[in-house]
Structure 1
Amino acid sequence: MRRTSAFNVIAVLAGLAFLYLPIGILVIYSFNASRLVTVWGGWSLAWYRELLHDDAMIAAAWTSLRIAALSSTAATVLGTLAAVALTRAGRFRGRLLFSGMAYAPLVMPEVITGLSLLLLFVAMNIDRGFWTVAAAHTTLTMCFVTVIVQSRLIGFDRSLEEAALDLGCPPLRTFMTITLPLIGPAVIAGWMLAFSLSLDDLVIASFTTGPGATTLPIRIYSEVRLGVKPEINAICTIMITVVALGTIASSVIAKRGASRRAREGLGIQM
């Protein structure tokens, strides 16, 4: 039995403090009664109430939520189809190019991705705004969905699909009724990750946005350059809460899916 040394405990605590202490300070100071964000003036919900009257911030948050929902849904559909093609289509012509293009946003700097998309929209004479940001975020997040769903499909037991096909079920119906429910936790986890990445993105959105499509990260960045306001701490706390709840929900869904697959596997063996 390995003993936990003091060095390991200190290293873990230091790492957790480095990661989460700034977030904790931000959350605490969002309840600060003082207008000076660096001076503690007691507990208060005043800045959350002020946030309700900040129409520009609320509009930016609503825009970010709509873009995140649309782009994550499109990325989930396209990423799932790409994962199915990479795992089920075999060695088709152009597979290497297809997989390279699908995984490129994982390793490509966001500045390059944003600039290339900007040049594409300018060359096609497309007005930048809500739809260009949504398309850019779909391009960014699709690869993450592909990786998550592909990892689930690699270890997928195809005997159930083969049984359905042998009984005369069409391939599309087999996928919708057999395959998709079994890989559902991975698909949902991919959607949540895509939603979080879209909600958080600043670099690509700054290249592809236009008038009337200011996202929340862009709005926060533009205001922070003039000084941090207490309302920014409040909206950031709300964003942290939303992302944390999404992460917890994704983890719970994944664990339930894993336990269900384990029970099904045990039932098949028996």
Structure 2
Amino acid sequence: MATGTHIDNSSRTKGGSAGGSPAPAGGSPALAPLRRLRRHAVVLAGAASLLYLLLPNVVVMLFSFNKPAGRFNYDWRAFSTDAWTDPCGVADMCGSLGLSLQIAVLSTLVATAFGTFAAFALARYRFRGKGTGNALIFLPMAMPEVVMGASLGTLFLNTRVAFGFVTILIAHIMFCLSFVVVAVKARVMSMDPRLEEAARDLYAGPVQTFLRVTLPLAAPGIAAGAMLSFALSFDDFIITQFNAGPSTVTFPMFVWGAAQRGVPVQVNVIGTAMFLIAVAIVLGGQIAAGRRRRQA
């Protein structure tokens, strides 16, 4: 009986193998591309989003080497490096660029300092009005820039403050402060307080603990807030337009005015240079962080 059963099973197995084709181990070959696409869908979506974000920068970089036939740099004519060899060839452009850099640097320094103090206070201390303070911090980010710019302009006008460099600087500090607070606060809340307790247990004073432990741990958040503040201040137009004087022209205001007559190629050169500098700073930070991780 056992032998007969074995023969029947074998015959059924052979018949099944002979009568029908075995299913492949990985499923139908026709569905293999679909399965690969599904496995890499997140990577492809991220790459497409990054390409979409970088495409305008690539266009600006490409047209910085263009030699337009007229005033408008919209059509590719011929390859030329004239704009790169003479980036200040357009009148008043480098002056407005220098003004924007001054305002961006000063507003970044002030906003980063005050924003760091506010972030530590909101993240680590309990006091009356803390909830209101958190809500007020988000208002400049949620409020349209045109509302904030018009409100500040009305304030300066009613207090008879002369419009110019100082009014733009105050407006940019107020605008950038919220972004610094949010960036630094997120970093401070993720820090392990036991590290600072260990430093105090090892007889480190308050100043030494802050300089040797707290500040290095919070440095990535502070650096992120500072870079974001600089970028927002440098390319801001709406708030600056409401608070600039008649003789104060920043680089975004110069570009807006030049666009009505024809944007010079040098604008693309400045934009490309700023983009490459930003990429170099980010890559430098990533390389330094990777080296520290390998050494640790």
TM-score category of the 2 structures, normalised to the smaller one = 0.7 to 0.9
Compared CA separation, residues 254 and 222, structure 1 to 2 (3 A): farther
Give the number of aligned pairs.
260
Report 1:1-270 matches (<5 A): 3-5=36-38, 8=41, 15-36=49-70, 37-90=73-126, 92-166=127-201, 169-252=204-287, 259=293, 263=296
The corresponding residue for 2:14 is none
- Structure 2, unaligned runs of 5 or more: 1-25, 27-34
CA distance in 1, matches of 2:275, 2:176: 19
**Counterpart of 2:259 in structure 1: which amino acid?**
V
**CA offsets per residue over residues 192-232 of structure 1, 9 Å max, x none?**
11111111111111111114431100110011022233232
Identity between Structure 1 and Structure 2 (%): 36
Checking the alignment, whether the CA contact within 8 Å between 2:116 and 2:222 is kept in structure 1 is yes
CA distance in 2, matches of 1:172, 1:59: 42
CA distance in 2, matches of 1:136, 1:255: 37
Compared CA separation, residues 88 and 244, structure 1 to 2 (3 A): same
CA distance in 1, matches of 2:44, 2:216: 43
Checking the alignment, whether the CA contact within 8 Å between 1:185 and 1:253 is kept in structure 2 is no
Compared CA separation, residues 166 and 59, structure 1 to 2 (3 A): same
The corresponding residue for 1:267 is none
Q: Report the TM-score, using the length of structure 1 for normalisation.
A: 0.84
Shifted more, 25-34 versus 240-249: the winner is 240-249
CA RMSD of aligned residues (A): 2.8
CA distance in 2, matches of 1:120, 1:207: 11
**Counterpart of 2:37 in structure 1: which amino acid?**
T
Greater radius of gyration (CA)? 2
What is the CA-CA distance between 1:245 and the residue it aligns to? 3.0
Provide the secondary structure at the position in 2 that maps to 1:27: helix
Q: Report the TM-score, using the length of structure 2 for normalisation.
A: 0.77
What is the CA-CA distance between 1:126 and the residue it aligns to? 1.2
CA distance in 2, matches of 1:6, 1:31: 40
CA distance in 1, matches of 2:130, 2:291: 33
**Counterpart of 1:181 in structure 2: which amino acid?**
P
Shifted more, 15-24 versus 198-207: the winner is 15-24
What is the CA-CA distance between 1:7 and the residue it aligns to? 10
Compared CA separation, residues 13 and 93, structure 1 to 2 (3 A): closer
